[in-house]
Amino acid sequence: MYVNGFVVPVPEGNKDKYREVAEKFWEIAKDYGALEQVEAWEADISDGKVTDFRRSVKVEPGEKVVFSWIIWPDKATADAGNEKLMADERMKDFGSEMPFDGKRMIYGGFEPFVEEGRSGGGYVDGFVLAVPKDKRKAYTKMAADAAKVFLEYGATRDVEAWGVDVPKGEVTDFYRSVEAKDDEAIIFSFVEWPDAKTREEGWKNVMEDERMKPDMENMPFDGKRMFWGGFSPIVAEQAKTPQPA
């Protein structure tokens, strides 16, 4: 599959309007082959010393962070679908006043290399990090091993996706968000849980599990530049079958 990943700054008062726009967008995206869309609202985000979700989109007072993804069968379907939906007459219904600042939204295209479990859940942990391209094999092994542990302790799905079409932005972008170096790729990752309570208990068990103890001398990425947080889905849609136009 192929993932379009987003991080969006949304005024807290625009939550319902944002949900409405996202639901309308889904009705168009699924017509062009999209399989899934999730929009998850900030629930548990901390300020980091180097990077964090709020800095990634230059959050202003009164704004919250949305962690979002759209899943397609493959990159070709995603590229064609995105082109068609942007030309769709229904897009005009959104009007010129969007409920968020699109100039500060960050987005990109990602190819999953770890997929464990099944979609669905009432809580999401979102992660963004940079991995040296020559460390991909080592990171993949670490992420695949970790995914099995997460599912063992109650997670419903774990996805790790490698950036393959991540644009540079004028104001914000994924590269700046993690201070990525020229030889690094962006990772967009999420772990889904049934609910916040299961997530809390799951993380406690994960952190105490000997299999998750980090080998600090051989870490395949800089953990100080990774950021993560917890989110509650406000839109969670799935297509029964792909419906390419």
What pLDDT does 16 receive? 97
For residues 188 and 108, the answer to whether their CB atoms sit within 8 Å is yes
Report the CATH architecture of 2-238.
2-Layer Sandwich (3.30)
How far is Cα 205 from Cα 185, in angstroms, rounded to an integer? 30
Residue 45 corresponds to which tokens in the numbers above?
């985000």
User: What parts of the chain have a pLDDT lower than 70?
Assistant: 241-245
In tens, the pLDDT along 84-126 reads 999 999 998 887 778 999 999 999 999 999 999 999 999 999 9
What pLDDT does 241 receive? 58
For residues 50 and 179, the answer to whether their CB atoms sit within 8 Å is yes
- The domain limits of the chain are 2-238
